[in-house]
Structure 1
């Protein structure tokens, strides 16, 4: 374990020149740099903080300590989802969790963070560009920033994320470095053919890749060049949940994808593989539904518009239908929001239905279009999940039972 070389500026921060809050944050960053054998620190241009999601008293204690010590973030810093929907507070069923969640979210705003409260900061303006060093937490945000934007962030957990924001520094290690960003295994998706035109293919493929490679860096061949950011979002989120994927390359699409990869091991993916993944990821096969939840990660503007088009006409929903999105996206929806709410869609902001007490504990069968939600919700909420496309989710909500096209 080596001690990183610190610049005169960094030594001054560590020594307390900028206050006790900055010194505390710098001790955390330097400690992590030692653990990861980083030779130095790197200046970052932005941070995304996951620590605002309440996980117990320690969450509040650390945030309040930073506030008491006068700490402030020194780079643009967005906030991940919290445990509370601040716009629709009655949606959260646990009063104690709601109170603690609100207190924690407020503490991070007091530190100077922007109250975005979204797990998809890449949907906001001024997102980082190619090659920028950033310190983002939240697994799907990390994999999207690295893969689709070509920015550079390692996987940063709670407390390390806000300390990076306060110091403007991160350890120069892991995916901050060029050498660590090279692909390690190829997934040949060409046998999937036209199935890759289906939206359900992307969460299934992501879940399969994550389960197979863990924290390795996959290189994908055979993905259509016109693949959308929302589809890449679904792929990355599922891969980061099922494994530890923080970067993937799509040949011909993502900015760092290699042109030559003949020396890498190859895994073939066909439709039968993804059908098996769908069966394994769905913890119940069919029957009556209790609810539907979409928008994990947070639904983009385009996804909200598409949902509005699907629900604008037709029979009413027979089960509650939840859509999670960011507050910035909600502000853009205008007439789209009116259409959604008129159709019975419950729009959730600032949080997500698998991390806080929004769904009734009596509900046991829930449908989603998210590989990430289907992966986490059974353990978090004690529900059984079934994975479907957005049209399948709408059709099922209207029927009150699972309807799948295939």
Structure 2
């Protein structure tokens, strides 16, 4: 791999041990993949910072970079943690203390307070054509699909190295030739809301792993496209789609494609039944916010539930939002109002990377990303449901 003079010096340790570790990791990965050089990145977003996911080994790696003097060289943010950012949550085996050590090490290295999987909505909007190094799968798919920014899905340690170096390897979706659609998926039916857009994404990810699908379908809005991206990234590691009318890189359906698939509402209904492992009456709670909801969603949710279930819910609802909003007074106020109705807000975390799900066996959700990971990682059965369907079932 070609390295500039500065990169050579950094690689050889002339600018500190932490930077040398980061450079050697980036160069090693890049050379294995065939990258010819490194490129500057405008924003790094690191995944894998929940202690529930990375354990003591991950904690020690992050702290070691901090104690070696590691400091970020570009705008850098991080994914949800394993506990609430208000100082509450499970502390079995020192869980909370170790999670806070991870966050403190990231802060010490210069990471921006974040704890969210939607950095594109609440922190910094990606620009078309700029290079990123993001680790969160759903955010990678959204950045490439809706913003035409350029990022591969980076493993947690590689993204962390990119933050310290301000660079990543020039390969994959950073290159023009790798950003063209390879398969076509045509959906005929009414516009897809967030739930059914997620089901479509789940199906596309399963069928076309490693491909860039061209999605020819109507959607109710950008939230639905985000749901599509998150589901496809979960079920098939899909890092980019071209979505008709939404993707800046949409140049029309490709004339040549390796495969073409036609779907109807019936196909999505059948997939919904296949994914659901129980009946909604068996659900012990409802979970939404995977990916996180922006804080504006909380007021929308309060208005809806106050109108539909003014006496509250018989079973709880959990909502994840970015940790960066945890101290917002308006967020705290609406969170208290929601709590009186049986809805509890989880700032900076989610069921997938935390231990909140340990008390539950059946969870209803409108998130296909959560529906993919909860059964596989935690043995939790899921039921696909809209918020409206759940509220109608459990209102007092």
Bin of the TM-score, shorter chain as denominator length: over 0.9
Query: Is 1:364 the equivalent of 2:364?
Result: no
Q: CA separation in 1, counterparts of 2:381 and 2:91? A: 20
1:97 equivalent to 2:95? Answer yes
Partner of 2:205: 210
Structure 1 runs of 4+ aligned residues shifted over 6 Å read: none
Match of 1:271 among 265, 273, 276: 265
What is the TM-score when the length of structure 2 is the normalising length? 0.94
Task: Tell me the TM-score normalised to structure 1 length.
Answer: 0.91
Once residues 272 and 211 of structure 1 are traced to their aligned partners in structure 2, the CA distance between those partners, rounded to angstroms, is: 18
- Aligned residues of 1:75 and 1:168 also touching (Cα < 8 A): yes
Whole-angstrom distance in 1 between the partners of 2:37 and 2:340: 55
Q: Give, in whole Å, the separation in 2 of the partners of 1:335 and 1:97.
A: 28
2:73 is aligned to 74
Q: Relative to structure 1, is the Cα distance of residues 334 and 229 closer, same or farther in structure 2, using a 3 angstrom cutoff?
A: farther
* Match in the other structure for 2:316: 320
CA distance in 1, matches of 2:375, 2:152: 28
SS at match of 1:135: strand
Q: Which residue of 1 aligns with 2:226?
A: 233
Structure 2 match to 1:296: 290
Mark the runs of 5 or more structure 1 residues left unpaired by the alignment.
Answer: 400-406
**What secondary structure, in the 3-state scheme, does the structure 1 residue paired with 2:292 have?**
strand
Secondary structure in 1 aligned to 2:272?
Answer: helix
Q: Helix, strand or coil: the match of 1:268?
A: strand
CA contact (8 A) 1:185 1:266 kept: yes
1:4-153 aligned at under 5 Å gives the runs 4-54=1-51, 55-89=54-88, 91-92=89-90, 94-153=92-151
Structure 1 Cα separation of the partners of residues 320 and 380 of structure 2: 18
Structure 2 equivalent of residue 306 of structure 1: 300
**SS of equivalent to 2:282:** coil
CA distance in 1 between partners of 2:14 and 2:304 (Å): 57
**SS of the residue aligned with 1:293?**
strand
Tell me how far 1:35 sits from its aligned partner.
1.0
Report how far residue 388 of structure 1 moved.
1.0
| TM-fit CA distance, 1:366 | 1.2
Query: Any conservation in 2 of the 1:283–1:385 contact (CA below 8 Å)?
Result: yes
Q: Which residue of 2 aligns with 1:185?
A: 183
Q: 1:17-48, CA deviations, whole angstroms, 9 ceiling, x for partnerless residues? A: 22111111000010011111001111101100
Deviates more, 1:288-297 or 1:302-311: 302-311
Shift of 1:199: 3.2
Farther-moved stretch of structure 1 (352-361 vs 5-14): 352-361
What is the aligned partner in structure 1 of residue 331 from structure 2?
333
Contact 1:296 1:373 in 2 (8 A): yes
How many corresponding residue pairs?
Answer: 389
CA contact (8 A) 1:202 1:234 kept: yes
SS of 2:214's equivalent?
Answer: strand
Shift of 1:51: 3.4
The 2-side partners of 1:367 and 1:322 are apart by 10
SS of residue in 2 equivalent to 1:240: helix
> What residue number does 1:220 align with?
215
Alignment partner, residue 245 of structure 1: 238
Post-superposition Cα deviations, 1:335-355, rounded to whole Å, max 9, x if no partner, equal 533432231211101111122
Alignment RMSD, CA only? 1.7
Q: CA deviation at 1:165?
A: 0.5
